[in-house]
Amino acid sequence: MQFIKPGINIDFIGKRKVAFYISVAMILASIITLAIHKGPKYGIDFAGGTLIQVKFSSPVGIDDIKSGLHTIGLGKSSVQLFGDLKENEYLIRTDKSVMTSEGFSSKVKRALRSAAGIPVEIRRIEMVGPQVGKDLRQKALFAMFYALLFITIYISGRFELKWILSGVMAAALMGAVYFFSIFNVSIPFLIAAAMVVTLVLFWFLNLKYAMGAIVALIHDVIITVGIFSLFDKEFTLPIIAALLTIIGYSLNDTIIVFDRIRENLRKYHKNPLEIIINKSINETISRTLLTSLTTLVVVISLFVLGGGIIHDFAFALIVGIIIGTYSSIYVASPILIAWQERRKNR
Point out which residues pair with 127 in neighbouring strands.
50
Q: Which pLDDT tens digit goes with each residue over 270-297?
A: 888 888 999 999 888 888 888 888 989 9
Task: Please check whether the domain covering 49-125 is classified as CATH 3.30.70.100.
Answer: yes
Beta bridge mates, 91: 53, 80
Query: Is the pLDDT score of 233 beyond 80?
Result: yes
- 125-181 pLDDT, tens digit per residue, is 777 766 667 777 788 888 888 888 888 888 888 888 888 888 888 888 888 887 777
Between CA 55 and CA 84 the distance in angstroms is 12
Amino acid letter at 199? L
Annotate 242-256 with DSSP letters as a single string: HHHHHHHHHHHHHHH
Torsion of CA 26, 27, 30, 32, to 10 degrees: -110
Distant-in-sequence, close-in-space partners of 159: CB < 8 Å, separation ≥ 6:
209, 210, 258, 262
Q: What is residue 227's predicted lDDT score, i.e. its pLDDT?
A: 93
More confident residue, 302 or 189: 302
Residue type, 171: A
Residue-wise pLDDT tens digits, 110-121:
888 888 878 888
Domain ranges of the chain: 13-43+132-345, 49-125
Distance of CA 24 to the CA centre of its chain: 17
Q: How confident is the model at residue 346 (pLDDT cuts 50, 70, 90)?
A: low
Contacts of 311 (CB under 8 A, 6+ apart): 303
13-43+132-345 matches 49-125 in fold: no
What are the backbone angles phi and psi of residue 231, rounded to the nearest 5°? -90, 10
Is the pLDDT assigned to residue 333 strictly greater than 90?
no
Percent of the chain with pLDDT strictly greater than 70: 92
Domain 13-43+132-345 belongs to what topology? Answer: Multidrug efflux transporter AcrB transmembrane fold (1.20.1640)
Helix (H) or strand (E) holding 123: strand 120-128
d(CA 59, CA 55): 10
Q: Give Cβ neighbours of residue 15 (< 8 Å, ≥ 6 apart).
A: 330
Q: Are the C-beta atoms of residues 251 and 213 closer than 8 Å to each other? A: yes
Q: Residue 337: what residue type? A: I
CB 121 within 8 A of CB 82: no
Q: What is the DSSP letter of 232?
A: T
Residues 6+ apart with CB under 8 A from 71: 111, 114, 115
- The arithmetic mean of pLDDT across residues 212-231, rounded, is 91
pLDDT over 60 (residue 269): yes
Average pLDDT, the chain: 83
DSSP secondary structure letters along 207-223: -HHHHHHHHHHHHHHHH
Q: What is the pLDDT of residues 251-261, one digit of tens each?
A: 888 888 899 99
Task: Note the pLDDT of residue 222.
Answer: 92
Q: Residue 51: beta bridge partners?
A: 93, 126
Question: pLDDT confidence of 30, banded at 50, 70, 90?
Answer: very high
Rg, C-alpha atoms of the chain: 24
pLDDT of res. 89: 86
